[in-house]
Amino acid sequence: MNAKVRTPSVTLNAVAKEAGVSLATASRALNGSSRTVNDEYRERVLAAAAKLNYTTNLSAQAVARGTTTSVALLVGDIADPYFSSIAAGVVQGSEEAGLIVTMSVTQRDPARELSLVRALRGQRPRVIILAGSRTSNGPEETELRAELEAFEANGGRAVFVSQHELPFDTVRIDNYGGARALATELVSLGYTRFAAITGDIGLLTASDRLAGFTDGLGAHGITINPAHIVVGDFTRDGGFDGAVQLVERGLDDVELIFAVNDVMAIGAMSGLRANGIEPGSDIAVAGFDDIETVRDVTPSLTTVAIPLVEVGQSALAVALREREPGEERDVAVATSVVLRASTPGIPAR
């Protein structure tokens, strides 16, 4: 069996010679230099590169520039439409800016997030966007801050999505305010007896939303019985299991279940049905995020809308902007309550 012959890599020198230009001109034409290259020369260089099947050495560019044309995006769970929608916005913005997105999943694990950031620094991305769910006062927080400060000191930019717990640019989602507004709207529909399914209280998104909801009820003199608050995974199965727990504890005096995200709310509706309880008819259900799926489930889900694709686009725009001295590092994204069939309201008594 004949050994396969390896074809030597085409060099930039060969491209320059084929195009009849200097090595410097070929480099500027192919490597995105800010220095202008004559259109005729650029076309000759591009034609020569195509003819010789030349590909740019991205690793060499990264060494020369201190950064690449890549955007590193960290999300908590790519199967969660919340994160995939944010990722879609980052990808759209990156394509417009001529950048390439690489994505990693933190699994909402602070230690894993820290490890990924350390690995990504070695790849020299231009931007790191952290959209994974933040935890409160985790032991990795100090190390994560140091890693990201070192990354920015070397010319990179770090941006967080959701909570502004660390001193970096942040696209801030008003989880507390959105949940509080939802509580007010639901009370106006006549609901007075509530249960809640939340994620691990260490997750800031979960704790902010639950706090906003309970404070919104409290403003109307309503409290949630602690026995009617269950904690589960921040997933569809967590919502399913949470609903089953509530059924086992007794729902006779509950009119509405609030789940702190939509995938948990969808799981909760399935858990209720599995126990012979019809969501929207026997008991109302509300969520948070307004992922696309909730418009198609039966009944359609009342929720708090976040423009998630816009959040992703904003995160990239923040990373690429020229920061002015003293400029506010937060960009706020508004939320809005969307009432649907899952909360038809309580008839006047």
Whether residue 296 sits in one domain with residue 182:
yes
Whether residue 166 sits in one domain with residue 91:
yes
Half-sphere CA count of 54, side-chain side, radius 13 A: 25
Residue 81 inside a domain? The answer is yes
Whether residue 167 sits in one domain with residue 76:
yes
Whether residue 114 sits in one domain with residue 76:
yes
Whether residue 93 sits in one domain with residue 50:
no
The string of pLDDT tens digits covering residues 133-172 is 667 666 788 889 899 999 998 889 999 998 667 888 999 9
- Domain CATH number, residue 217: 3.40.50.2300
pLDDT > 70 in the chain, percent: 87
Q: Domain of 20?
A: 12-56
Whether residue 324 sits in one domain with residue 301:
no
Whether residue 253 sits in one domain with residue 156:
no
The dihedral through the CA atoms of 155, 161, 165, 169 has a sign that is positive
* Residue-level pLDDT at 5: 46
Full-model pTM? 0.78
* Average pLDDT score over residue span 198-220: 93
Residue 341 inside a domain? The answer is no
Whether residue 228 sits in one domain with residue 283:
yes
**Axis crossing angle, helix 39-52 with helix 12-19, rounded to the nearest 10:** 120
Distances (CA, A) of 86 to 164, 217, 334: 17, 30, 15
Residue 32 inside a domain? The answer is yes
Whether residue 218 sits in one domain with residue 199:
yes
* Residue-level pLDDT at 202: 78
Residue of 136, 24, 129 whose CA lies nearest to 73: 129
Query: What is the average pLDDT score of the chain?
Result: 87
Number of domains composing the chain: 3
